[in-house]
């Protein structure tokens, strides 16, 4: 029986940016408890993370940022910016959150796993080269791409960021890099303010950054339509050697920090299914999911469970998507300008 790998360590419960902070230890605790239930536990294998080395972190970040974060070790509370804080365990959690990506790639390329979920915190996709921000210390998914490039020689890496917020840090890491195709769908305008459709990369990387900025209150229909009509055809042309997902679940309905309406029971499984179809055709089914945001505990639990069930084809998706005028509205106001831009400045056939 094919199994799904999960990477987890209790150190991720010890990083605490504050009592009332939304990026709380309870987020991974809730997911961990769901993974232990009898309907899901037989389908997963658990692995511990390793600690990333300084050299590995410096692939994506400056020595200045590394020193700032490392100097928080053993200190009970340091506020790095209005949204981002650390305690005495944050540095250790951060280097293991990065190191979890290294373990994930080993499982994907040296063992017999097709799907891996890095159940880690702090999250990473906002962290820039020399700046921790948006709850993020080091950019986990960006360094995962560097692991893939530097340890496995990959030249075509697809990063799909479905977190509610735009992954400004990840985008900046690969904005001029044609070896990484970064695709983000996100609420816009919203924090951090980046991610307009006109941001498509520069230099040799032009056309390898793709942003789909959405107005608030988009749900299953809009997201599935975007994945089917924009992401899937481009990904099949790109032929990635691995797919990496910045898996934030704050795009789900009722999240306290967002205004999107994707459902854990249908939307998340459908997005997973579309990505798995691409992966099966291009990279032997291999996908790395890394936890980003998501602040409703029930959404986190059920989204991750349904993601794994769908990936392994344990449960079929019974509901069918019916496209309505909501999709037509997104096509006209969001996707048509992006398609027109790509026709002139890139080379994807969509």
- 146 is a domain residue: yes
Residue 51: burial class (beta carbons within 10 Å; 0-12, 13-18, 19+): middle
Query: What is the number of alpha carbons within 13 Å of residue 215 lying toward its C-beta?
Result: 9
Q: What strands lie across the sheet with 287-291, from one edge to the other?
A: 44-47, 4-7, 115-118, 287-291, 242-247, 157-161, 180-187, 209-214
Q: 308 and 40 in contact (C-beta within 8 Å)?
A: yes
Residue spans of alpha helices (H) in the chain: 11-14, 26-35, 54-57, 63-70, 90-110, 140-152, 168-173, 220-226, 232-238, 267-282, 297-311, 325-330, 336-345
What is the rounded CA–CA span in Å between residue 283 and residue 242? 6
Q: Is 328 left (phi over 0), alpha (psi -120 to 50) or beta?
A: alpha
The residue segments making up the domain with residue 138 are 4-345
Structure tokens at 307: 């993601």
* Tens digit of pLDDT at every position of the chain (350 positions): 789 999 999 999 999 999 999 999 999 999 999 999 999 999 999 999 999 999 999 999 999 999 999 999 999 999 999 999 999 999 999 999 999 999 999 999 999 899 999 999 999 999 999 999 999 999 999 999 999 999 999 999 999 999 999 999 999 999 999 999 999 999 999 999 999 999 999 999 999 999 999 999 999 999 999 999 999 999 999 999 999 999 999 999 999 999 999 999 999 999 999 999 999 999 999 999 999 999 999 999 999 999 999 999 998 888 889 899 999 999 999 999 999 998 878 889 88
Residue 75 neighbours by CB distance under 10 Å = 12
Token pair for residue 37?
A: 């239930």
CATH of the domain at 188: 3.40.800.20
Count Cβ atoms below 10 Å from residue 64 Cβ, excluding itself. 11
For residue 20, being part of any structural domain is answered with yes
Q: Is residue 158 part of a domain?
A: yes
pTM as predicted? 0.98
Is residue 8 in some structural domain?
Answer: yes
Q: Does residue 294 lie in a domain region? A: yes
If one counts the domains in the chain, the total is 1
Largest CA distance in the chain: 55
| 50 belongs to a structural domain | yes
Asked if the structure places residue 130 within a domain, the reply is yes
**What are the catalytic residues?**
126
In a domain, 350, yes or no: no
Helix, strand, coil tally for the chain in percent (to 5): 40, 15, 45
CA dist., res. 145 & res. 166, Å (int)? 18
């Amino acid at each position: 029986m094919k199994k799904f790998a999960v990477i987890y360590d209790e150190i991720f419960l010890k990083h605490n940016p504050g009592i009332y902070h939304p990026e709380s230890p309870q987020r991974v605790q809730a997911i961990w408890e769901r993974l232990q239930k009898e309907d899901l536990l037989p389908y997963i294998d658990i692995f511990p993370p390793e600690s990333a080395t300084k050299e590995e972190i410096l692939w994506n970040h400056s020595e200045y940022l590394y020193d700032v974060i490392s100097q928080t070790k053993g200190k009970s509370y340091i506020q790095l910016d209005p949204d981002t804080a650390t305690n005495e365990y944050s540095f250790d959690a951060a280097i293991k959150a990065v190191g979890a990506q290294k373990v994930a790639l080993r499982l994907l390329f040296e063992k017999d796993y097709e799907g891996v979920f890095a159940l880690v915190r702090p999250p990473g996709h906002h962290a820039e080269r020399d700046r921790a921000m948006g709850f993020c210390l080091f950019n986990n998914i960006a360094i995962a791409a560097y692991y893939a490039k530097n340890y496995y020689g990959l030249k075509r890496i697809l990063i799909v960021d479905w977190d509610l917020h735009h992954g400004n840090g990840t985008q900046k890491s690969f904005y001029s890099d044609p070896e990484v195709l970064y695709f983000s769908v996100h609420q816009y305008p919203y924090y951090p303010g980046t991610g307009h459709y006109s941001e498509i990369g520069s230099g040799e990387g032009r056309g390898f950054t793709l942003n789909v900025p959405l107005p608030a209150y988009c749900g299953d229909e809009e997201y599935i339509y975007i994945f089917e009509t924009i992401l899937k055809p481009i990904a099949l042309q790109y032929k990635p050697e691995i797919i990496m997902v910045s898996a934030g679940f704050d795009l789900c309905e009722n999240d306290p920090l967002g205004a999107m309406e994707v459902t854990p029971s249908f939307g998340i499984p459908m997005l997973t299914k579309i990505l798995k179809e691409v992966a099966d055709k291009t990279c032997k089914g291999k996908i790395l999911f890394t936890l980003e945001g998501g602040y409703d505990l029930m959404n986190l639990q059920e989204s991750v469970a349904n993601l794994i069930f769908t990936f392994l084809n344990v449960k079929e998706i019974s509901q069918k998507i019916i496209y309505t005028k909501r999709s037509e509205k997104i096509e006209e106001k969001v996707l048509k300008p992006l398609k027109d831009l790509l026709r002139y400045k890139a080379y994807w056939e969509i």
